[in-house]
Structure 1
Amino acid sequence: MIVLASQSASRRALLSAAQVPFEALSPGVDEEAAKEALRADGLDARALADALAELKARKVSRRVPGALVLGCDQTLSLDGGEDRGVMIDKAVDRADAERILRLLSGRVHHLHSAAVIVLNGEPIWRHIERVRMTVRPLSEPFIASYLDGDWDECRWCVGCYRIEGPGAQLFAKVEGSQFAIQGLPLLPLLDFLRVRGVLTA
């Protein structure tokens, strides 16, 4: 069994569907404060996702000695243009979500999905996947109706979308793993768990 250092419904669903035995514990991390501190150190989107995933796993690992603790995080960075590399956070409110969707409209961004496993406070495995996401041009009526229909769910997601739900309508093209888009580089994780004997090879 592993311990998931997250209360993310999407990650729990992915592990359950893959029949990975796990329990979920909240890491109790102030993500915004941690993010700001790490950004101040100059971390890019990829490194930031990795560092936050490790932080969450380390925090929970202190409470469960001897357990394999999985921490995950996702960051989003813009591609192309003057704001290339700029990171987008979760929306703070509905107006911010509209701003984010307008910013993503008709352009490419990258999702960085990081997973780190910590044992007794030390990382023993990590993996980061980058997915290239092309958003189609979004009309104002679409943005309004989309948020009307999915706001209660998508408000918790970086980029304001759930690819497994109505958020699929935002995209013209996706290059990479659907699992990674949902917040977990699942196939590399399953491979590691087989090597460790958590899953049958």
Structure 2
Amino acid sequence: MGHPPILASKSATRRQMLDSAGVAFDAHSADVDEAAIKEICRAGGLDAPATALKLAEAKAAAIGARFPGRVVIGADQMLDCGGVWFDKPADMAAAADQLRHLRGRMHELPTAVVCWRDGVVLWRHVETPRLTLHAFTEAELASVLAAEGDRLLDSVGAYRVEGPAIRLFQAIEGDWFSILGLPLLPLLGFLRRQ
């Protein structure tokens, strides 16, 4: 491939996944108006998986415009609970409210990855894990919030399944890497073919 691909993300978790897999890559944070893209997608009747793909594509395009000839990896994740889409919580009170909304319910985490070069989508993939939180008590919630702190504000779900918040879950179905924010195995397959 010549130059290594560029990951269009500031997510430490996504960077760590590629690093752990031994993938050489550069990383640049993509600045896109996610709220505006979500509104346009919603108005256009797109579902959460299609919206996650649009967001991933927008991130890849934003970085790709600055680096002609380079493959850019864009990724994004949505949280859909019964048709309600969630964003990263603004503060700990919002995180607690979000977790209360998800309590005892199943939600989906459509997670998209796009590879882009010179204005063209070379490849795209979306996974939709399903996660169910048990009907946890307020004491359990308080314990997880205290243990996790501000780290929860970096997650669209206001939880980290790789941390103490796992105690709030009843069931998880789907690809572990996708739950963490990047469908890694399909991406590695695409990169090998390149």
The TM-score normalised by the length of structure 1 is 0.91
Out of 106, 114, 117, the position equivalent to 2:115 is: 117
Counterpart-to-counterpart distance in 2, 1:120 and 1:28: 18
Q: Displacement of 1:41 after TM fit? A: 2.4
Q: Displacement of 1:35 after TM fit? A: 2.2
Out of 9, 17, 20, the position equivalent to 1:14 is: 17
CA deviation profile, 1:61-96 (whole Å, cap 9, x unmatched): 001111110000000111xxxxx2221221122221
The alignment status of 1:71 with 2:74, answered yes or no, reads yes
Secondary structure of 2:139's partner? helix
Correspondence for 1:93 = 91
The alignment status of 1:126 with 2:129, answered yes or no, reads no
Counterpart-to-counterpart distance in 2, 1:69 and 1:108: 33
The alignment status of 1:157 with 2:160, answered yes or no, reads no
Correspondence for 1:59 = 62
CA deviation profile, 1:106-141 (whole Å, cap 9, x unmatched): 111111000000011211100000101111111111
Secondary structure of 2:154's partner? coil
The residue identity in structure 1 corresponding to 2:22 is: Q
Counterpart-to-counterpart distance in 2, 1:161 and 1:121: 35
Out of 86, 102, 105, the position equivalent to 1:104 is: 102
Correspondence for 2:189 = 191
Q: Displacement of 1:26 after TM fit? A: 1.1
Which shows bigger deviation, 90-99 or 53-62? Answer: 90-99
The residue identity in structure 2 corresponding to 1:18 is: A
> Percent identity among equivalent residues?
48
Which shows bigger deviation, 43-52 or 159-168? Answer: 159-168
Which shows bigger deviation, 33-42 or 55-64? Answer: 33-42
Which shows bigger deviation, 49-58 or 84-93? Answer: 84-93
Out of 26, 34, 37, the position equivalent to 1:34 is: 37
Q: Which runs of 5+ in 2 are unaligned?
A: none
The residue identity in structure 2 corresponding to 1:162 is: R
Secondary structure of 1:67's partner? coil
Secondary structure of 1:191's partner? helix
The residue identity in structure 2 corresponding to 1:17 is: S
Correspondence for 2:8 = 5
RMSD of equivalent CA atoms:
1.1
Q: Displacement of 1:19 after TM fit? A: 0.5
**Residues 113 and 126 of structure 2 are in contact (CA less than 8 Å); yes or no, is this contact kept in structure 1?**
yes
**Residues 95 and 158 of structure 2 are in contact (CA less than 8 Å); yes or no, is this contact kept in structure 1?**
yes
Runs of 4+ in structure 1 over 3 Å off: none
Counterpart-to-counterpart distance in 1, 2:86 and 2:136: 18
The TM-score normalised by the length of structure 2 is 0.94
